[in-house]
Amino acid sequence: MPRWYRLDNAGKLYPAISSARRTTVFRLSADLSAAVHAGRLQEALTNLMPRFPYFSVHLKGGVFWYSLDSSQHTVQLERDSRYPCMNFPLHRRGIFPFRVRCWKNRIAVEFSHVLTDGTGALIFLKSLLAEYLHLEGVKREDCEGLPVPGERMRKGEDEDAFRRFGNPLLPSPPLSDPAFRLPLSLERPGYYKITTGIMPVEILKERAGDYGLSITEFLIAVMLDSYQSMLLDMPSGLRKKVIAPIRLNIPVNLRRIWPSPTYRNFFVSIDPEIDPRLGVWSFDEIISSTRHYMMYETNRHRLAGRIARNLRGERNPFARIIPLPIKNIVLPPLYSLFAEKYYTSGLSNLGMVDMPPHLSPFIRRFDFIPPPARGEKVKASLIGWNDKVHLSFGRLIRPAISELYVFRRLVNLGIPVKVESN
């Protein structure tokens, strides 16, 4: 096992910008059909960790960059809390960049993006569920390629796929204008409110298909339309002050384009938008714009340009020679100024979860909660299990305005939504 790992291209930024509100932490959870036995879950976690050596690490500061140092310690199970993804002491000595929590019948993992993306975290959660259920007495059968305790790490699981497939010499897309953002104040640090809408997947898929869109594309269009409605419902004086392009941050799983087996970060974001400064967009116009944008921007050549932009930032000679303590001071305000202000909100979709058939009857649901975003204030994420999809909004503001508009629009489009909140 390597003694240390370089942070991958996506993970390099997160240690410097993490804060009480921008924790960089996202969450995946599974609700089981029976109460979770904490002792057996800890045993399952202890058994599994050697199979994921690139997760058995601590964050360590160097002269110029952070790195991930291998650890022989075991992650200790934690009790769940009201506000997920918060109070995460990433920089504290000996802290793992993820944690495992449980409460009643729920098992949750919360990962910092320093370590991995949603795909890698979901693989880990599925493997943990399999090991736990086996310890609970479920017969051990074929786990259909899931990493299991006792087997060796497969080649490439720990690779920095950005370095393998990226070319920093390629041209990259230009920067956009700042985006419309909700003119609402942030709540106190530590507050993170989650609202989840549960929808029948077949109805959602059918409605998206009526417009010739995938589920992701359809929800992008609904969110753009909903934010436009929010803007139009504002008093005219306030609307004139804040009007700007409505733009979403949409992560793209690059493993679908380039054949990397990595369980570390391997994604870039694209940013569909409408510009209400040009006039009011009809829903059909938003549908058409979203369809063509997604078809164009998810092309491998366009995505390669976005990877190139990120790699150039990492390899910039000036950035490389700045000592880490200065980076920690300079990067957070720069990130707020040159990154967060370009997005209204975001949507991340992990799709429908699949589990080995012999384990599926013991799992009731999966949930996916996005990382808190100080700039966007509200972000959304989507995950599906069996016949339902869960669209979760995480917000750092008090009013549930984004969720209200989006869920109301979905209901008006004929999609029933059951709403839950923490």
Predicted confidence (pLDDT) at residue 64 exceeds the cutoff of 80? no
> What's the average model confidence in pLDDT over 77-88?
94
* The two three-digit tokens of residue 408, written as one number: 């109301």
Residue 315 falls inside a structural domain:
no
Q: How big is the CA angle at 104 (ends 98 and 108), to the nearest 5 degrees?
A: 20
Amino acid 246: pLDDT: 98
Residue range 150-168, pLDDT digits in tens: 999 999 999 999 999 999 9
Residue range 366-386, pLDDT digits in tens: 999 999 988 899 999 999 999
Q: Give the phi and the psi of residue 352 in degrees, each rounded to 5.
A: -85, 130
Residue range 287-305, pLDDT digits in tens: 999 999 999 999 999 999 9
CA–CA distance, 279 with 108 (Å, rounded to integer): 44
Residue 182 falls inside a structural domain:
no
Query: Domain ends where: 112, 145, 165?
Result: 165
Phi-psi region of 71 (alpha: psi -120 to 50; beta: other; left: phi over 0): beta
Q: Are residues 140 and 262 in the same domain?
A: no
* pTM assigned to the model: 0.95
Q: Are residues 151 and 75 in the same domain?
A: yes
Predicted confidence (pLDDT) at residue 337 exceeds the cutoff of 80? no
Q: Cβ distance 49 to 308 under 8 Å?
A: no
Q: Are residues 233 and 377 in the same domain?
A: yes
Residue range 91-146, pLDDT digits in tens: 888 899 999 999 999 999 999 999 999 999 999 999 999 999 999 999 888 887 89
Q: Are residues 13 and 122 in the same domain?
A: yes
Predicted confidence (pLDDT) at residue 4 exceeds the cutoff of 90? no
Q: Are residues 152 and 288 in the same domain?
A: no
Q: How many domains does the chain have?
A: 2
Domain containing 31 equals 4-165
Q: Are residues 147 and 198 in the same domain?
A: no
Instruction: Look up the CATH number of the domain holding residue 288.
Output: 3.30.559.30
Query: Domain ends where: 122, 146, 165?
Result: 165
Q: Which residue has the higher pLDDT, 321 or 196?
A: 196
| Residue 301, C-beta contacts closer than 8 angstroms, at least 6 positions apart | none
Q: What is the CA radius of gyration of the chain?
A: 21
Q: Are residues 159 and 201 in the same domain?
A: no
Residue 179 falls inside a structural domain:
no
Q: Are residues 145 and 218 in the same domain?
A: no
Looking at this protein, which amino acid is placed at residue 82?
R
Residue range 172-227, pLDDT digits in tens: 888 889 999 999 999 998 899 999 999 999 999 999 999 999 999 999 999 999 99
> What's the average model confidence in pLDDT over 392-411?
96
Residue 406 falls inside a structural domain:
yes
Q: Are residues 206 and 156 in the same domain?
A: no
Residue 170 falls inside a structural domain:
no
